[in-house]
Structure 1
Amino acid sequence: MKSFEYGDSEIGFVDIVITISSMIIGVGILFLPRALAKTVQSSDGWVSMLLAGLLAIGSAWMLAKIATHFSKQGYFAYASAAVTKPIALIAILSLTLYFILYSAYEVRAIANISKQYLFERTPVEAISLTFLLVVVYAVSGSRVGIIRLNILFLPIVIVISIVVLTFSMSIFDLDDLKPFLISDWKGLAKGIETSAFSLFGFEVILIYITLMNHPKKAPKAVVLGVAIPVVLYTVIYLTCVGVFSHFALQQITYPAIELAKEMQIPGAFFERFESIFFTIWIMAVFTTTIMAFDCSIYLLMSVFNKTKKKTWVFILNPFIYILCMFPRNLADFDEISSIISYIGLIVAIMFPILIHVAAKIRGVNSDAS
């Protein structure tokens, strides 16, 4: 008797594509158009976005290619054989800290935005705690179940985004995109940095590669998984410029949500579509936070394998909550966002590359061979 396709403990090609896209699509797009408008002139942010997308796709492909070498033994075992166990422990714990910070950032971000658009009188501490408790409940379950949740939520998020973009065309002004290509290389480079950081998240392939039934397909899967957010982010950015203009876009904190507020649906069927859009977008942030939390637990369990998963959940939960409450204002929040991104660049991309090079030099056994 053939087993139920989504009832097993393995994931396939499409699952990884959706997982990577779900991990990347989070709160970043809600304020990315404003960040790009501040760094480039006119509508030139699309150039930075596409170039950053190419860098992210290249990095994701390389990381997935490396991950295929430890698809069975896991990252910690592979790193221990390559660079000795103490150094591997530092690499794993550093990556764990990155995912913990990633989780805290997403929780605080969704709390800030929820307070502004949905719960004006509710303290941000209460919103953060409520959201985090729901995340804790979700992450306590099956790891494969989290992947299946992405398959359920991502299509809804994309459909709602397409609806917003489609009905925004009635107020879209093509002249606001002109003139083209007037930004200098410094502005474009800063835009590439900003855009590239918003595309982080593909690092989860280092963890979820162990669940794949065909690990050799991982590089192609992550390329497609990164390409989807790149296209979506670029279209949303250009639409925001065409609707608000470049100058006005610099003054709007969360342009993507304001875009949902400004869109016009014939017959005034929805009067506050931004609430629906934001509620749906919470799904995307929810899955991103779950996966970041889950990855940190997986890494800790790979080192301390005698400790149960739920124990780590309860240990990390208050730690994440304290971290998410650390930023005092929006300026602190933006600064911490950049710090987390630089940490991710080092521990989630550079470290695995260096470990792989060391493994090649030392002739470490590879799962890909």
Structure 2
Amino acid sequence: MQAAVLISNYMLGVSILTLPRTSVEAAQTPDVWISLILSGLMTVAVGILIVKLSRRFPGQTFYQYNRLLVGKWLGIALSFFTALYFIVMASFEARAVMEVTRLFLLEGTPNWAITFAFMWVGVYLIIGGINPVARVCEIIFPITTVILILIAFMGLSVFELDNIRPVLGHGFMPVLRGLKTTVLAYTSTEIMLVIPAFMKHPEKAVKAVLIGVLIPTFFYVVTCVTVIGTLSVDGVITRTWPTISLFRSFEFRGIFFERFETLLLVIWLMQIFATFSLSYYLGALGIAQSWKVNQRTVIFVLLAVIFLLSFAPADTNEVFKMGDMLGYSSLVLFILVPAVLYVLPGRKGARP
């Protein structure tokens, strides 16, 4: 269950705030919920492939066993690009926190103060290894589930069914166009290149993938349908953070607590923290295992690297471009590469 929760928390990050807009922009119809379901099924298939690959080398992470398949130097290159992916992902999550926190919560607070405080808490967590990260995710996940279900029920008061009809009114091509962006929101199963090495029961890793992907898929579908049904296709496209706009549309007079978007931002910050911490840990682990250096030293060195990378995008548009770049990179690193490695025979007598 911890492995499943890690996958779910890793997936439910920045995308839940922007996915309705990016998917509708690509499809131009309300049928993106079909694209989300198809993307979820595709992600499950990729996750199972990655698990099957990892189980060929019990107790070893991708950083250790890849050179048994492709040799030392190519293995080092694969480890470098994989670790770099996780490092850039961590910097992307840190920058996303800065953008939203500055805009909705802490106006006027210096950007470096928001980012640095967030990152130091992450360092404190991952110094203890993968177990504390998994336990924090176990705490965060039930809270996220309750609040996302609350979103769905509250959305019924402003939901317009006509905004999501007709189903497949423009045929199936918009659904296929929507896959381009929805697939990028499902990057999560790549952590199974490493996590099975730490599982007490790695034979249950496939079940972890199924649970870990299908739960966020359900929340993605519910959130997108609720947002589109409330704001309409045109309304979603014109908003940078449509899910937050949905929460701001709720109005219940006489209730003491009125700023409902605060609930969403609270769970969103927790989810981002989970994704950031896990990405940070996996990037540091990759460098430590590939180059035989102390992992704690790597963590503190990467603190400066991730901090600087988080300030590389000049504005919000470049932040979204950074996210797209990560999504396309994941298609190569975590679909094409595992598929090729899976068909290669291991080298007998080789050591990681």
Which residue pairs with 1:133 in the alignment? 120
Q: Percent identity?
A: 29
* Residue in structure 1 matching 2:199, options 203, 212, 216: 212
Task: Output the amino acid matched with 2:344.
Answer: A
Unpaired runs of 5+ residues, structure 2, are none
Which residue pairs with 1:314 in the alignment? 300
Change (3 A) 1:36 1:74: closer
1:60 aligns with 2:42: no
- Report SS of the residue matched to 2:345: helix
Which residue pairs with 2:243 in the alignment? 256
**TM-score computed with the length of structure 1 as normaliser:** 0.90
Aligned 8 A contact 2:49 2:338 in 1: no
Which residue pairs with 2:91 in the alignment? 104
- Report SS of the residue matched to 2:25: helix
**TM-score computed with the length of structure 2 as normaliser:** 0.95
Q: CA deviation at 1:97?
A: 0.3
- Report SS of the residue matched to 1:121: coil
Comparing 33-42 with 239-248, greater Cα deviation is found at: 33-42
Q: CA deviation at 1:175?
A: 1.4
Q: CA deviation at 1:189?
A: 2.4
1:119-145 CA-to-partner distances (Å, cap 9, x unmatched) read 121233332222112212212123211
* Counterparts of residues 221-232 of structure 1 (less than 5 Å): 221-232=208-219
Aligned 8 A contact 2:31 2:174 in 1: no
- Report SS of the residue matched to 1:358: coil
Which residue pairs with 2:313 in the alignment? 327
Q: CA deviation at 1:363?
A: 6.6
* Counterparts of residues 145-224 of structure 1 (less than 5 Å): 145-183=132-170, 185-224=172-211
Structure-2 separation of matches of 1:51 and 1:74: 29
Comparing 350-359 with 234-243, greater Cα deviation is found at: 350-359
1:12-42 CA-to-partner distances (Å, cap 9, x unmatched) read xx11111110110101110100112212233
Structure-2 separation of matches of 1:127 and 1:312: 23
Structure-1 separation of matches of 2:90 and 2:173: 31
Aligned residue pair count:
351
Q: CA deviation at 1:184?
A: 5.1
Structure-2 separation of matches of 1:92 and 1:28: 26
Structure-1 separation of matches of 2:200 and 2:66: 22
Which residue pairs with 1:6 in the alignment? none
Task: Output the amino acid matched with 2:324.
Answer: S
Q: CA deviation at 1:310?
A: 1.6
1:41 aligns with 2:28: yes
Aligned 8 A contact 2:126 2:132 in 1: no
Q: CA deviation at 1:329?
A: 1.4
Aligned 8 A contact 2:29 2:174 in 1: no
1:350 aligns with 2:314: no
Aligned 8 A contact 2:163 2:229 in 1: yes
Aligned 8 A contact 1:105 1:324 in 2: yes
Aligned 8 A contact 2:98 2:114 in 1: yes
Runs of 4+ in structure 1 over 3 Å off:
183-187, 264-267, 362-365
Structure-2 separation of matches of 1:138 and 1:203: 21
Aligned 8 A contact 2:35 2:178 in 1: yes
Structure-1 separation of matches of 2:252 and 2:217: 26
Structure-2 separation of matches of 1:336 and 1:184: 31
Aligned 8 A contact 1:164 1:259 in 2: no
Which residue pairs with 1:77 in the alignment? 64
RMSD: 1.8
Q: CA deviation at 1:279?
A: 1.6
Task: Output the amino acid matched with 2:315.
Answer: N
- Report SS of the residue matched to 1:171: coil
1:72-92 CA-to-partner distances (Å, cap 9, x unmatched) read 133233222211111111111
Aligned 8 A contact 1:42 1:178 in 2: no
